[in-house]
A = this chain, B = another copy of it.
Amino acid sequence: MDKILRINMGGQGGPEIKTEPMGDYSGLAGRAMTSGIVSKEVPPLCHPLGEDNKLVIAPGMLSGSLAAMSGRISVGCKSPLTGGIKESNSGGQPSQVLARIGYAAIVIEGKPADDTLYKVFINKDNVEITPDNSLKMLGNYDLVDKMKAAHGDKIACISIGPAGEMKMSAASIAFTDMELRPTRHAGRGGTGAVMGSKGVKVIVLDGEGTQARSPKDPDKFKEANKAFTAGLKKHPVTGEGLPAYGTNVLTNILNEAGAYPTNNFSSGRFDGAGKISGETEAETETARGGNPTHGCHKGCVIQCSGIYNDKDGNYLTKQPEYETIWAHGGNCGIDDLDAIAMMDRLDDDYGLDTIEMGATIAVAMEAGLAKFGDAEAAIGFVKEVGKGTPLGRVLGNGAAVTGQVFGVERVPVVKKQAMPAYDPRAVQGIAVTYATTPMGADHTAGYAVTANILGVGGTVDPLKPEGQVELSRNLQIATAAIDSTGMCLFIAFAILDQADTFQALLDLISGFTGAGMTGDDVTELGKSVLKNERNFNAAAGFTAADDRLPEYFKKEALPPHNVTLQVTDEELDSVFNW
């Protein structure tokens, strides 16, 4: 992982492939790499679908090694959804494979001369890019099947569905899982549209003949990995809750807390929550011969994913995540798990961000296009997106566009990106993260649900403003660093609560790189990433006015706590004063 692969789609006479040494980007990986390249090389005022934008795909620092949980991969670009910088990351197999092949980043740049669609094939010896218009408008599932038929089942794929080809702002990039299914996604911010604008349908990675990346200090690494794994296994969230029920363990918890956004963020409690909870989901999966405890990539010890079969026991989709179940479920007033799973499948197939799509359907419902709770209508909306009808194109461009097109005032977005599954009035720490992260409303950027709701990493009253800025600030810094390591963010539960597990992580990194890694180094890394991102956004025209929730969160009280946003503008503006 000591070189950068550049593919210029705007080359004279077709795409040009070039391999470069790390240069300025030496030592960077994951989010630090993507935000480093984007902030340095992409003109902040360029059109996100134009020749000057770049799509950067970068495995994490430890990806490709034997470190547990190190399978995350970062995707960066200027976002067509927010207009700001974007890092969206995903699990799945490609991070490990790409890292073992040896690329620290793939940078896709320039603009193709016409609408020819390309396939990129990468193995340890070669990079090939070939035009293949037979792939046009294939769903991710059919596409991956086709790649499997051509290249065997030892590959891993990075691909877009029809939504990306249609350059929709809610289009995701799919990453295949251990079963070679396109179920893991860099969902947020329209990265799929940027890949589509570059004319790249799929990147096929063949790791044949590659080895796990070697640590500099094998003994230290091995020992740290053991301690780290043990730490994950002993924490109640990573060792019990997530394995048993997946991320959807949160439905009952958030609903109980009155923070579960229901019917387009009009209530914090959903009557149908029990029918779509993690407990119900796991039970359903088990009863149908699926599997509620499964990893999304090799080396995962948390196993928060699973397999969701239909009523006949046939594979339908991977276990839909909490955010997906909420977005297409409670936020649309829908309590039908099979309908939600069907939308998850369709989103994965078309290549769509499940959070953005669910939030968008709720806005469409608020506009009167369907009633809250109408699962059939909701599935129909997703299918419109796949077909690219005018309505589908609107919905596929997300909640903000849909709100404008249909004249809706209550549109829960920040920087035009839809809010995830935590009402910011009932989890005021996440309000700070939604408002201020350079990413647009994003729970993963600083998951204050920890101390606000879960009692992880301390306790901060979720309904009061006190302590939220500090909480969000520290989490945003830590997250920017973790997103650079290739580590799954869920390790945060254990490292926030268990000092020895945090130390094990530091030792793991030190053992791998051979350089020391202290807590202060982690903080400095996180700050440097955020600084690059904030600088890019400022140059793209973002100001404090963009670091705000929509005004109705200050005015409309959320039941059942009947609380409005309490954090002040001045407090929001102090998040990055470190």
A interface, CB within 8 angstroms of B: 43-47, 49-50, 52, 80, 166-169, 193, 196-197, 389-391, 393-394, 397, 401, 404-407, 409, 539-546, 548, 550-552
Contact = CB atoms under 8 A, between A and B. Distances in A.
A512 B166 CA distance: 60
A406 to B, nearest CB: 6
A404 B169 contact: yes
A47 B551 contact: yes
A567 to B, nearest CB: 15
Given A390-B394, A390-B405, A394-B394, 8 more contacts: A44-B545, A50-B409, A50-B551, A193-B407, A394-B405, A401-B405, A541-B543, A541-B546
A46 to B, nearest CB: 6
A436 to B, nearest CB: 14
A276 B545 CA distance: 45
Nearest to A407: B167
A312 to B, nearest CB: 35
B401 A47 contact: no
Contacts of A405: 390, 393-394, 397, 401, 405
Contacts of A544: 541
Contact of A393 (B43, B44, B193, B394): B394
Given A49-B407, A169-B404, A540 B545 contact: yes
A551 B167 contact: no
Contacts of A394: 390, 393-394, 405
Max chain B Cβ within 10 angstroms of own Cβ: one of A197, A394, A540: A394
The 7 closest A-B pairs by CB, nearest first: A541-B545, A167-B407, A390-B391, A390-B390, A393-B405, A541-B543, A47-B409
Max chain B Cβ within 10 angstroms of own Cβ: one of A197, A405, A540, A541: A405
A242 to B, nearest CB: 37
Contacts of A552: 47, 50
B545 A539 contact: yes
Contacts of A404: 80, 169, 397, 401
Max chain B Cβ within 10 angstroms of own Cβ: one of A44, A539, A543: A543
Contacts of A409: 47, 49-50, 197
B197 A407 contact: yes
Contacts of A43: 551
A489 to B, nearest CB: 30
Nearest to A80: B404
A508 to B, nearest CB: 41
A45 B391 contact: no
Contacts of A542: 541
B168 A407 contact: yes
Max chain B Cβ within 10 angstroms of own Cβ: one of A45, A407, A546: A407
A196 B406 CA distance: 13
A43 B555 CA distance: 13
A208 to B, nearest CB: 36
A351 to B, nearest CB: 14
A468 B407 CA distance: 38
A48 to B, nearest CB: 9
A344 B112 CA distance: 38
Contacts of A167: 407
Nearest to A416: B404
Contact of A390 (B45, B389, B543): B389
Nearest to A388: B406
Contacts of A52: 551
A221 to B, nearest CB: 46
A438 to B, nearest CB: 15
Given A46-B551, A551-B43, A551-B47, A166 B407 contact: yes
